[in-house]
Structure 1
Amino acid sequence: MELRAFFGPDASGPVIKSKVDLDLNRSPFIREKIDVLLDGDTAADITKKAGSIDLGEKTFKVIFVKINDLLPHEKVEYGERMAIERAIGWEIVGEADLKNPDYLFGIVAYGGRWYLGRYRKNERVWTKHVKKPREYSTALSARDARAIANIAVPNPAGIRAVDPCCGIGTVLVEALSMGIHIEGRDINPLVVDGSRENIAYFGLEGNVTLGSIEDTKAHYDVAIIDMPYNLYTHSTPAEQQSILINARRIADRLVVVSVDPIEEMVQKAGFTIQDHCIAKKGTFSRRILVCN
């Protein structure tokens, strides 16, 4: 779902070619990317063209990207991968440095062609948010919360988001850390305090207020709702329906998470389901629905 949110409805792995200039560290799932500089029909074609890259006195390293769409009988073994890396390295103008290079270049096969470009690896910055001063076991994982924030707001520019049942702020922390303009709200004063503490702990700034979604007056581009279901904030089916109806009132789009089937409730509230998936954390399974 995150891939589709970033790159369009037809996006699927393991390799995607796109003109979208994505900050790699936003995603908890995308491992690496190449900013393409050269392409060719074969790795040998890339080697011939690599001499056009002039780094002066800067150092570099070439990496053969193992994740590609080569068929099983086309797979390149370790020795050949090393040979391709060396051949390209000989052509690039600069100084090779395998330990601490100024530039990393990656070569990958995709769609019957080969590509060489600046290589970047995901630094998994979201893992710093796993341990929070305030948390409970049934909360969304930091990984899932980050993906959900991305699904809701793939492009933050000019977008106002709200999490009106924010709990301890797992989604808020991930969204705020990515520069998403999001506000939080909850009817439970204990979790509101916990959310504020978690946000401040990571040096972030965000507005979290005490109150119900029914009392919300502002309008937002998108709402993210992890349906209340735990011992701290439980909701009945009627209360869940009210949450969804008010989400329709205050937001143009909705990304909703639920441990129970709520598709009928979502549609009754006036939303159309555009995409969906199941996320698991231990014994918990959650439905994630993207709605317009």
Structure 2
Amino acid sequence: MEMRAFFGYETKRNILKSSTKIDPSRSPFIKERIDVLYEGDSISDLIKKASQIELENSTFKVILVKINDLEGSEKFGHDRRRKIERDIGMEIEAEADFNNPDYTFGVITLGGRWYFGNYQKSEAIWLRHLNKPREYSTALSTRVARSVANIAVPYPNGIKAIDPCCGIGTVLVEALSMGINIIGRDINPSVVYGAIENIAHFGLEGSVTKGPIEEVTDTYDVAIIDMPYNLFTHSTPDAQLSILKNARRIAKKVVVITIDPIDFMIKETDFIILDRCVAKKGLFVREVLVCE
């Protein structure tokens, strides 16, 4: 679902080609990215084109990315990978540095074509957020929370978001760490203080206020709603419907996370479900719905 939000389509392969540039560190599921400089039908084509690179006094290294669409006997072993890296590197008129290069280039094959470009490895920023000073067991996992933030706001520029049932701020921490303009709100003062503490713990800045969604008067491009369901904030079906109706009032788009079937509520609020998926955490099974 995050893949569809970012790139507009999904593939069953573990690699895709797109003109959309997403920082790989935003997603807990993206490992690396190559910004293509050259492409060709063979390694020989890339070797010829690599000689055009001008790095002046900078250093570099070349990596043959292990992820590709080769199967069976077509896959490269260690020695073959290293030879390809050396052959291309020999054509680049600059000093190679395998430990701390100024530039890292990646080589990959997909669909019978070969690609060469600037290589960027994902940094697992979300892992830093696993241990929060305030948390409870039924909160969204950090990985799911980060993906939900990406699904709700794949392109943050100019987007204003709200999490009106933010709990201890799991989604807020991930969204704020990616530069998403989002505020939080909750009716429970205890979890509001917890969210504020969690945000500050990671050196982030964000607003979290106490109060129900019914009191929100500003409008937003998107609302992220993890439906209240636990001991901290008990919610009845009527209360859930009220949350959705008010979300309809204040936001153009809503991403809902729920443990209960709520399609009938979505329909009653005149939202249309555009996409959906299931996320699991232990015994908890949640459904993520994208609605407009």
TM-score (norm 1): 0.96
- Output the aligned Cα RMSD: 1.3
The 1-side partners of 2:216 and 2:13 are apart by 39
The corresponding residue for 2:244 is 244
- The answer to whether the 8 Å contact 1:4/1:11 transfers is no
Distance 1:72 1:249 in 2: 54
1:9 to partner: Cα distance: 3.2
Take 1:284 and 1:13, find their aligned partners in 2: how far apart are those partners? 28
Structure 1 partner of 2:77: 77
The residue that corresponds to 2:224 in the other structure is 224
Give, in whole Å, the separation in 1 of the partners of 2:174 and 2:13.
Answer: 23
Q: Are 1:5 and 2:35 an aligned pair?
A: no
- What is the CA deviation profile of residues 235-269 of structure 1, one whole-angstrom value per residue up to 9, with x for unaligned ones? 11121111111111111100000112212221222
2:69 and 2:111 in contact (8 A); partners too: yes
Matches of 1:16 and 1:142, distance apart in 2: 25
Q: Which residue of 2 aligns with 1:42?
A: 42
In 2, distance between residues paired with 1:5 and 1:14? 16
TM-superposed CA distance for 1:10, in Å, is: 4.5
Report the alpha carbon displacement of residue 178 of structure 1 after superposing the two structures with TM: 1.0
Structure-2 separation of matches of 1:248 and 1:286: 21
Distance 1:28 1:268 in 2: 34
Deviations 1:208-261 (A, max 9, x none): 111111121111110000011111011111211111111111111000001122
Q: Does 1:210 align with 2:225?
A: no
Larger deviation: 177-186 or 18-27? 18-27
The alpha carbon displacement at 1:49 in A equals 1.3
Distance 2:9 2:17 in 1: 14
Please identify, of 71-80 and 123-132, the stretch whose mean Cα deviation from structure 2 is larger.
71-80
Matched, 1:87 2:87: yes
Report the identity percentage: 62
- Cα deviation, residue 73, structure 1: 3.9
Correspondence for 2:162: 162
1:53 paired residue number: 53
Compute the TM-score of the two structures, normalised by the length of structure 2: 0.96
Q: Are the structure 2 counterparts of residues 13 and 263 from structure 1 closer, same or farther at C-alpha, using a change threshold of 3 Å?
A: farther
1:14-68, Cα deviation, whole Å (9 max, x unpaired):
1121122222211111000001111000112111211111222322111111111
2:195 counterpart residue number: 195
Report whether the alignment pairs 1:148 with 2:156.
Answer: no
What is the distance in 2 between the residues matched to 1:207 and 1:221? 17
Worse-matched range after superposition: 140-149 or 13-22: 13-22
Q: Which moved more, 1:68-77 or 1:246-255?
A: 68-77
Deviation at 1:72, TM superposition (A): 3.0
SS at match of 1:62: strand
CA distance in 2, matches of 1:268, 1:68: 45
Contact 1:169 1:196 in 2 (8 A): yes
Q: In the TM superposition, what is the alpha-carbon distance from 1:113 to its structure 2 partner?
A: 0.7
How many equivalent pairs are there? 292
Is contact 1:3–1:12 with CA below 8 Å preserved after alignment?
A: no
Q: What are the ranges of 5 or more consecutive residues in structure 2 without an aligned counterpart?
A: none
In the TM superposition, residue 12 of structure 1 has moved relative to its aligned partner by 5.5
Instruction: List per-residue Cα deviations over 1:75-125 (Å, max 9, x = no partner).
Output: 222221111111001111111122222211110011221000111100111
**1:52 aligns to what SS in structure 2?**
coil
Cα distance, 1:200 vs. partner? 1.2
Structure 1 residues 10 and 116: alpha-carbon distance in aligned structure 2, compared to 1, 3 A threshold: same
SS of residue in 1 equivalent to 2:232 = coil
SS at match of 2:57: strand
CA distance in 1, matches of 2:242, 2:11: 34
- State the AA in 2 paired with 1:153: V
User: 1: CA distance between counterparts of 2:177 and 2:56?
Assistant: 36
Query: Which residue of structure 1 lines up, in the alignment, with residue 182 of structure 2?
Result: 182
Aligned to 1:261: 261
Cα distance in 1 for partners of 2:180, 2:264 equals: 30
Contact 2:13-2:69 at 8 Å conserved across structures: no
The alpha carbon displacement at 1:11 in A equals 5.5
Instruction: Say whether 1:31 aligns with 2:31.
Output: yes
**In the TM superposition, what is the alpha-carbon distance from 1:13 to its structure 2 partner?**
4.0
SS in 1 for 2:58: strand
Give the Cα–Cα distance (whole angstroms) in 1 for the partners of residues 282 and 118 of structure 2. 37
Conserved? CA contact 2:59–2:103, under 8 Å:
yes
Query: Counterpart in 1 of 2:285?
Result: 285
The 5 Å alignment of 1:104-115 reads 104-115=104-115
Structure 1 residues without counterparts, runs of 5 or longer: none
